[in-house]
Amino acid sequence: MKSLTQINNTDDGGSTMILKSSIHTNFGKLHLKPINLKRLHSLQSRPKTSAPRAHSHHHTHSPEHLKAVQNRLARIAGHVKAVQNMVAEDRDCPEILIQLSAIKSAINGVCEIILQEHINHCVIEAVKADDTEAINELSKAIRQLLSK
């Protein structure tokens, strides 16, 4: 994560909001919806219960979103199969590396789509429902996504 732009606003009773934010990653720039930072902080600082619990929001995505992700993954799978054939045919290493780079870029694109959808729908609902576990899961997922 390279940068997070934050603008403070106190016109809603002193709450600090992210009004315009973006995260620059190695696979592009993600634009995020506004989130009340004070509320988010209060959710994170609450004591955790000992029993695991399910998310309080219903985890659904539009059929269009799911189809778009499935189509991209199918194209990536086909691309991987083509690279497997290139290796079996003992093609030049630079050709294979170029194709692997394209696969990596395509995977990063799918990650961006899924992460953006998760932030814009699931995380927003989790914040509204005081679901700290979902917020912690997002942090963990972003760390894993950005690690090399």
pLDDT tens digits, 37-64: 455 445 445 454 444 444 455 567 788 8
> What is the arithmetic mean of pLDDT over 7-29?
46
Buried-exposed string 114-142: b where 16+ CB fall within 10 A, e elsewhere: bbbbbbebbbbbbbeeebbbbbebbeeeb
Q: What stretches of the chain show up as alpha helix (H) in DSSP?
A: 37-45, 63-88, 93-117, 124-128, 132-146
* Region 21-43+61-146: CATH code: 1.20.58.1000
pLDDT digits (tens, 9 = 90+) for 77-129: 999 999 999 999 999 999 999 999 999 999 999 999 998 888 888 888 888 88
